[in-house]
Copies of this chain bind each other. A is one copy, B any other.
Amino acid sequence: MASSHKKVVLTGDRPTGPLHLGHYVGSLSQRLVLQEQHDQYVMIADVQALTDNIERAHQVKEWVGQVALDYLAIGLDPNKTTFFIQSLIPQIAELTVYYLDLVTVNRLKRNPTVKTEIQLRGFGDSVPAGFFVYPVSQAADITVVKGEIIPVGEDQLPMIEQTNEIVRSFNRIFNTNVFPEARAQVSSVARLPGTDGKAKMGKSQGNAIFLSDPEDVVVKKVMSMYTDPNHVHVNDPGKVEGNTVFTYLDVFDADKQMVAEMKAHYQRGGLGDVKVKRRLIDVLQAFLTPIRERRALLAQDMSAVMNVMLGGTQKTLVVAERTMQEVREAMHMRY
């Protein structure tokens, strides 16, 4: 049971494939800390994964399993974190439908996150309505468990703002305080670039190192990483800024002094890319090997893994139904 000073934290992932180092740095690592401090929920957002491509529904179950494996392999602990599968919580859909009455079409059009993502996906005028309204669904995700702290990237701040607008409207119209406002906790960690040096590591970009990548794949991916294109000969001075291998070392190498020395050596010339990459491979393997081994072990019994997710879902259902009862009470819609 959560003690009184614990807050409800909600995060989650769209299951569109296995998780990668970018997820770990940007979000998963924080969750390992948060599960020690708060009442943490982690949602596998299978319904949201379909908003921009419902045709991939048949793959979603497989991906949910992959994400679940990643969660448990990195050390998210079902005794400290409540996992749930979004599609199994019908109260989220129920709240979404009510919240749609609290938000105008124009307000949704102005949401900068949605605007950007509609452009990114090239939807133009044919954006699916489900994608267009997903800030409203997110408000339902958050409020169904009465989320108070929502760890997000900077780009997701408008989503939390939309949630709080809905919370305030609901509480005002129904003269209630059923819902707390949610506080965004913006990660202070810089985003991990892709192996190609691009700003964002993405599942579909071909520039991701997955938590589940086998040893040889990690070697291959690091060996082809983006460094300093002007560092042609070993003896040339090289740049460390924007050099992805050094960016990764900054994040993953605990031996900061060693990294500092390598940077200096690289900058004055005489340190080859391959040597730096070998160091990164060692560091990443040290980090990934226990995860990979634990993952392989867990994967031998996928039904046990899914049972952990379903157990959390059952706990969440109880909380969600309690929330819905309060919502119906506030709306005077109990029959």
Contacts and interface: CB of A to CB of B under 8 A. Distances in A.
Interface stretch (A22-30, A33-41, A53-61, A242-250): A53-61
A296 interface: no
A49 to B, nearest CB: 10
Contacts of A310: 335
Given A57-B174, A335-B310, A47 B105 contact: no
B133 A100 contact: yes
A180 B244 CA distance: 55
Given A129-B136, A136-B129, A137-B97, A333 B104 contact: no
A322 to B, nearest CB: 15
A136 B98 CA distance: 14
Interface stretch (A85-93, A145-153, A276-284): A85-93
A83 to B, nearest CB: 12
A94 B47 CA distance: 10
Given A64-B335, A335-B61, A128 B103 contact: yes
A82 to B, nearest CB: 16
Nearest to A313: B335
A294 to B, nearest CB: 22
Interface string A113-129: 00000000000011111
Interface residues of A, number: 51
A130 interface: yes
A43 interface: no
Contacts of A85: 335
A30 to B, nearest CB: 26
Contacts of A102: 54, 128, 130
A306 to B, nearest CB: 6
A58 B94 CA distance: 18
Contacts of A57: 173-174, 331-333
Contact of A51 (B51, B93, B101, B129): B101
Nearest to A104: B126
Contacts of A181: none
Interface centre among A96, A104, A125, A128 (most CB of B within 10 A): A104
Nearest to A108: B129
* 9 cross-chain pairs, A with B, having the tightest CB-CB distances, nearest first: A100-B130, A101-B130, A93-B93, A90-B90, A54-B101, A58-B332, A57-B331, A100-B129, A93-B94
Interface of A: 46-47, 50-51, 54-55, 57-58, 60-61, 64, 85, 87-88, 90-91, 93-94, 96-98, 100-106, 108, 125-133, 136-137, 173-174, 306, 309-310, 328, 331-335
13 contacts: A54-B101, A61-B332, A61-B334, A61-B335, A87-B94, A87-B328, A98-B130, A100-B128, A100-B133, A103-B129, A105-B128, A133-B133, A306-B335
